[in-house]
Structure 1
């Protein structure tokens, strides 16, 4: 219970009793989560932090616009808003999608027509000039990149999206800031307060001790984890700075409670501008511990839980998405386990599923896919997976040796095969991708490339083979059918709905040329988008029509509510993946053929779950399961429910 004395003191900060009651009820509900996690990280410093934290939260609550306060109440009444089958995301770079924020405003009809309910605009807060890691080297969290617009433009866009039932997501870079950020500038100027915001060392003693157990994120163009900076010393002389990602990105020191307070203030400021979802970038890296890889430390989860609790007191309409590309055993902690269960992030990327999609497509074998899914612990029912076929980043082959061994594979050999296959080096491959960040020490080769080029459309257009083009289209639709059916928020990457190919012109842009991930960050082809529905027989037309059909079916399928998890069913054919969903309205079985071959699939496997009759929601067709086999054409997908539901 909230102490009477504190409640009475806080009530004096409100002119309206209803506002006071609302704030105090939320503080009572989420305050324990906030305080417990802060004490676990900051110990005896917590009391002093809480006094300042409440001041920040009260100010943000009073500044919160009335329409957003109404959204807060609506979300509290519908806490599963992110789990609905109608929830579909779209991911785009503002400039590449529509030039500016005002340009995005002019394309809302397109997004609404596609069925989008959640728009993730890639980094748009003001970055450093020049090289900036695709916008992830932020110079000012309270300003928009000047060529994209202003903060007022952002607020206007957020309102326009909200009026159409679309939530706005922005990236919040937590691990580091640009060297040019005000905090870093003051640190270099010798201000002790801001020097404590970073990890600064006068010599190599500290860095060398940490480096003994730290991996390299970008070994090609940013080797090591520390950078010598001529101004980083205590008195203006040089010093070593922790820079996990790039020399111009200074890692923040989250063991300093001032850093936590700064980010609560930033989150609430942006939430009051209309941001509804925050992608917590590089969240796994924020806590440093000697003798470890300084990733996934327990303090990370405490800090995220505390950030979420503070945000829910002021702005409960806001959700957190963890950008944690880590092993399944570590990933679950970003959604919450034990005392953190369901209290850390609301969403997390299901990176493993994305990797397994491409793995099964290359191998025409789903056994590793099934083993990887079985290894996942159950998530909290109030949390949600972010599902995707592609994103702005490269594909790293996050395949564990243990999963591979259970599937009868060598993990190392399979990762090598996938890198060869998707970089176009494997004999007979259909893929056109580029190797990103080859690490000779580990043999790791990540892959860049658009979904369409990786799925074979680029190669098919080169050869002009109608059969190859049809296979490429079917591969793209199969991949999207899995993410739409798995259970979570499916995230469509800009241009995939048009089957856009690799954009090799990135090499002509000096700041993009060193980073071949720009090959799958093309500019939106609006001319193609406007005519593609009038070109139903073109590859892009088929992908677009197929995807729009899938989205309509998903919206009308309650079995896909994300509180329910998909479970792997044993499949007698390695080419076919089977997923089961147990919904109160009945069982759903999803069938995915990951090969171009026709599979005569044993009907008894489906009959044992669904009975003698089923309906495929994707085609509207009835299936009799009392026969020996079900015919699955190449790359066929079925969403089967009990027959009487659609009769």
Structure 2
């Protein structure tokens, strides 16, 4: 009897038969992913199948049922009724995971089906990169609860038709992680989990082609450690040690982590820093081909043991590199199921500041169509700052300077530009390159903090763009309430040096005697109502299924972004006026898409649009979904 058969011997026959069928289906993809990585891929595959069998045998009946339902409806996450929400647990609910469980009725009220809670796993001591320096993948931050609390939360979410997304940091661990501690204590096996060099010869050779992620805060990519008596690879910070994925032991360790989190009911894993995981001499060690092979292999292990689990790539990379994280070529549709559409977020804010959709239209047209089995994560804001990822070539193609436009956006959103309504904060200024990133809530960046009368319209327009683009639109906690920058962001211990905490507000929950769940106190009821209307409209529009590609049209009016979603049930045209004055869409645009100007309605209002002078007339900052 094989080791896998021994592990599965105690489970029902139909479960053993299903596991064998999954292995037959997925083993070729597993070996295809492992072959570019390791000298003996079959031996590694055998180890991974044994790990998968152990996790499968231990999996809860309720989760086996979820696997079955997800397998029968593999597009469950692509459907237009899937709306996302992202938050820090303690800032959303006021304390721990148990408190989050008490607030899930509010999320259900919002229409949320995807909940991303920011880092929950136990980090090293401060500084710990906001929790992304993980010291223990098998436990929850003590102030947030236990793994049992995590399982209780996921069980509650499943009962409400919601899925939990957690961060899984793949590129590095905290210096305090067990692997690193044992390496520092002299264990040669664990030392081989990291890239350690006795002198600067090899690090200097690597550094010749490596960029610095944080040149001011953490210069260089290697850190001397006295306990190791060597230089250890540390891409991000001295306390975050890069693991060596070329070592199959590392792969197998992470497979166990993935399977354990899935068995606690986690349904989506955000693969943090995925672009950095493979190191190749003479390159920048980002976006290497092996990254996609190892992700395919890791995903395949999950497909065998727990197919309800999805992978989401945290790949904030250039447009030409992005689609590969959803699968291209031999990896088509076999890598991650989800990926962030960072470019859409950047272009939304670029359009609002410049009052022009020409650059955004051109830039979005350059992005390749992703596999039809995957989905973008679209968003107006997230937990991070905004880096102005404006490509110089794309800017030049529409007659502007990429450098000057990035500088303009930083000036505008920091409030330094003449007549700017934005109230953002400069984050991470680099005097050598002129790069300035921006922090701030959506409402503050859109002018609500400056009492600009058009601020609410800008917030709702931005959300209409991401809700209408397809994929999973994700609300950042507080943005659905119109929350402004937290004026006390620097008062909490450890936050004074990081103004991103300004757009990570703590929600204030109001007491209510009305039917329904307790609701947080809004800063702008108009924004609350507007986003609720967007959610209702989106859920009834099959053209927004993520398998339908968004086609960005050339703008006819330079201030109107046009996005067509062509579907067997008919085309929907998203028209977004990014200007503070009226604009238009010529009726011939509708006719070319097969839309009858005499019969077309705006799905957002249910009424016909205003037509005059042979064009659909758009009010300032108006969005229309024409069908």
Is TM-score (shorter-chain normalized) higher than 0.5?
yes
1:611 corresponds to:
596
Counterpart residue number, 1:85: 80
> Is the contact between residue 614 and residue 625 of structure 1 (CA under 8 Å) also seen in structure 2?
no
Q: Structure 2 CA distance, aligned partners of 1:627 and 1:530?
A: 51
**Deviation of the 1:629 alpha carbon:** 2.4
Equivalent in the alignment of 2:361: 370
Aligned to 1:504: 487
Residues 91-129 of structure 1: per-residue CA shift (max 9 Å, x gap): 000111111000001101100000000110000100112
The CA distance in 2 between the partners of 1:162 and 1:15, in whole Å, is: 24
Q: Supply the distance in 1 between the matched residues of 2:8 and 2:299 (Cα, whole angstroms).
A: 25
Select between 622-631 and 442-451 the one with higher mean Cα deviation.
622-631
Secondary structure of the corresponding residue to residue 142 of structure 1: strand
Distance 1:370 1:8 in 2: 52
Tell me the residue number matched to 1:229: 225
Q: CA deviation at 1:518?
A: 1.2
The equivalent residue for 1:16 is: 12
Contact between 1:219 and 1:437, CA under 8 Å: does it hold in 2?
no
Computed over aligned residues only, the root mean square deviation of the Cα atoms, in angstroms, reads 2.1
- Which ranges in structure 2 are unaligned for 5 or more consecutive residues? none
Offset, 1:534 = 13
The alpha carbon displacement at 1:504 in A equals 3.2
**Residues 530 and 565 (structure 1), Cα distance of their counterparts in 2 relative to 1, 3 Å cut:** farther
Deviation at 1:51, TM superposition (A): 2.5
1:67 paired with 2:67, answer: no
- Partners of 1:528 and 1:495 lie apart in 2 by 18
1:199 and 2:195 are equivalent in the alignment: yes
CA contact (8 A) 1:11 1:20 kept: no
Q: Which has the higher helix share?
A: 1
Q: Which of 635, 640, 646 is residue 621 of structure 2 equivalent to? A: 635
Q: Which range is displaced more, 442-451 or 111-120?
A: 442-451
- Show structure 1 runs of 5+ residues with no match: 234-238, 461-467, 642-647
Out of 144, 154, 157, the residue aligned to residue 153 of structure 2 is 157
Query: Within 2, Cα distance between the matches of 1:7 and 1:51?
Result: 9
Deviation at 1:565, TM superposition (A): 1.1
Q: For 2:53 and 2:233, how far apart are their aligned partners in 1? A: 34
What residue number does 1:555 align with? 539
Kindly provide the CA deviation profile for residues 580-637 of structure 1, in whole angstroms up to 9, marking residues without a partner as x: 0111110111100001111144232223321232011101112476851222110000
The one of 341, 349, 363 aligned to 1:358: 349
Residue 407 of structure 2 is aligned to residue 422 of structure 1: no
Identify the residue that residue 381 of structure 2 maps to in structure 1: 390
Match of residue 301, structure 1, among 292, 308, 324: 292
The corresponding residue for 1:645 is none
Contact 2:441 2:485 in 1 (8 A): yes
Instruction: List aligned pairs for 1:419-458, cutoff 5 A.
Output: 419-458=410-449
State whether residues 299 and 311 of structure 2, in contact with CA within 8 Å, keep that contact through their aligned partners in structure 1. Answer: yes
Q: Which residue of 2 aligns with 1:464?
A: none
TM-score between the two structures when normalised by the length of structure 1 = 0.93
- Choose the corresponding residue for 1:110, options 106, 113, 122: 106
- Quickly say closer, same or farther: Cα 1:528–1:292, change in 2 above 3 A: farther
CA distance in 2, matches of 1:356, 1:345: 24
The Cα offsets for residues 220-256 of structure 1, whole Å up to 9 and x where unpaired, read as 32122111222122xxxxx211111111111110000
CA distance in 2, matches of 1:539, 1:183: 46
The answer to whether the 8 Å contact 1:241/1:250 transfers is yes
SS across alignment from 1:352: helix
The match for 1:485 is: 468
Contact 1:72 1:315 in 2 (8 A): yes
Name the TM-score, length of structure 2 as normaliser: 0.96
